[in-house]
Structure 1
Amino acid sequence: MIGIIIPAHDEEQLVASCLHAALSAGRHKGLCGEAVEVLVVLDACSDSTTDIVTRFPVGAISVSVRNVGMARAAGAEYLLARGARWLAFTDADTRVAEDWLFQQLEQQADVVCGTVAVDDWSEYCRFAEPLQKHFRDTYEDADGHRHIHGANLGVCSLAYRAVGGFAPLESSEDVALVNALLAVGAKVAWSAAPRVVTSARRMARAPAGFAAALGIAVGTLSQTAM
């Protein structure tokens, strides 16, 4: 079985499109009918995220930690106990491509680190266009990149268990996991083949996540414009 783990904290605006995409990826013909289970880890949700998730044929567990590393780890342990051989991680503000899982497995690696794309920069108002250009000019979206995103990450269960899984970090839990896997000689595929589209929102869920990085970029752009 293949497991998809999606941590979510107050994602009522985006979680439905995330789940539609994840379920579609689980039905890809290249998986040859292998079972795929989608699990949402509801972390201290106070909006309607939980109600929305219950409308989908997915699993859900609840935690109250406000910690993405702990949420991912809880989801991984749940699906490992159910027999998952491969763990695929994304985020609730992200839409994975229909062939996302298939492309992860096609890399024939212990770990697959994918890239991210953004299709809506409108939250940044007057900085939307320069930020989009900055991202396009500075972000390497090609095989051989060295990006690590929890929104586009896959790991085989044996490798995951070998390093003890995700550390209980509020940010950069994905980086810590991949570094631990590299340290034990795991085969890592730095691939642009598994595609995801993520949000460019201003309000970060993780203190040092993708939204925070975009905020730093906007700060730099605003100083340049002064």
Structure 2
Amino acid sequence: MIAIVVPAHNEEDLLGDCIKSLIAASVHEDLNGEPVEILIMLDDCSDGSARVAAIHGVTAHECTYRNVGMTRAEGARMMLERGARWLAFTDADSVVPYAWLAHQVTLEVDAVCGIVDIDDWSGHSDLVRQRYDALYRPVDDHRHVHGANLGVDAQAYQRAGGFKALAVHEDVHLVADLERTGASIAWISGNSVTTSARKDYRCEEGFGDYLNSLAATSLPR
């Protein structure tokens, strides 16, 4: 089967839309009826995230790592034990397109690194958006790594050693380890994932923190 792992820390406001998009992607006709299991990793949640997962009928697992690398790794381990042949990862503040999974598994590569789109720039100045657009490359062979849009073959994931117990950049390190082990990687611009540009981000040095930093940095000459 195909597994989707989503780390979540107090995401009750955005988790529902994420799950609905994953459910839709899991029944894409090009998957030919292959089972897809969705796992929400509830990392030290004190809000209604568990209730949201239950309403939508997906599996949720509680943990208290407060470490996204450990949370993703635990979710991957659980799905590998259940027989997953492919592991897809996104974030709880993100929405995937309908063909997200189908495109990943039909590319016949060991891993797929996709891009992201921002859902709403209203919390940031025009300058931040201009700087982001100047630095981001939404094209094939882009070399961006996002935990919100990542897929990997189960065997390739295990050969690379899986996610490290890192509080940030766990996705970047996994892709580096995949490259080190000779994995074939598709860097695609199609089927981008829509993600949040909120300022109350959950991870220091993560994507939200990066967006905030653009307000105080200068573009390279």
Q: TM-score range by the shorter chain?
A: over 0.9
Name the TM-score, length of structure 1 as normaliser.
Answer: 0.94
Q: What are the superposed Cα offsets for residues 160-204 of structure 1, whole Å, 9 maximum, x if unpaired? A: 111221000000000010001100100011111232000001122
The 8 Å contact of residues 84 and 154 in structure 2, kept in 1 or not, is answered as yes
Is 1:198 matched with 2:195? yes
CA RMSD of aligned residues (A): 1.3
Aligned residue number for residue 94 of structure 1: 94
Q: What are the superposed Cα offsets for residues 5-32 of structure 1, whole Å, 9 maximum, x if unpaired? A: 0000000110000000011010111111
Aligned residue number for residue 212 of structure 2: 215
Aligned residue number for residue 82 of structure 2: 82
The 1-side partners of 2:52 and 2:179 are apart by 37
Shift of 1:132: 2.3
Gaps in structure 1 of 5+ consecutive residues? none
What amino acid sits opposite 2:13 in the alignment?
Q
The 8 Å contact of residues 161 and 177 in structure 2, kept in 1 or not, is answered as no
The 8 Å contact of residues 202 and 211 in structure 1, kept in 2 or not, is answered as yes
- What SS is found at the alignment partner of 2:217? helix
The 2-side partners of 1:130 and 1:208 are apart by 20
The 2-side partners of 1:105 and 1:185 are apart by 19
Gaps in structure 2 of 5+ consecutive residues? none
The 8 Å contact of residues 3 and 86 in structure 1, kept in 2 or not, is answered as yes
Is 1:44 matched with 2:44? yes
Is 1:3 matched with 2:3? yes
Shift of 1:106: 2.7
- What SS is found at the alignment partner of 1:39? strand
Is 1:61 matched with 2:61? yes
Aligned length: 219
Provide the identity percentage.
Answer: 45
Shift of 1:69: 0.3
What amino acid sits opposite 1:16 in the alignment?
G
- What SS is found at the alignment partner of 1:76? helix
1:131-142 to structure 2, matched below 5 A, reads 131-142=128-139
What amino acid sits opposite 2:186 in the alignment?
A
What amino acid sits opposite 1:43 in the alignment?
D
The 2-side partners of 1:219 and 1:98 are apart by 36
The 1-side partners of 2:178 and 2:204 are apart by 23
Name the TM-score, length of structure 2 as normaliser.
Answer: 0.96
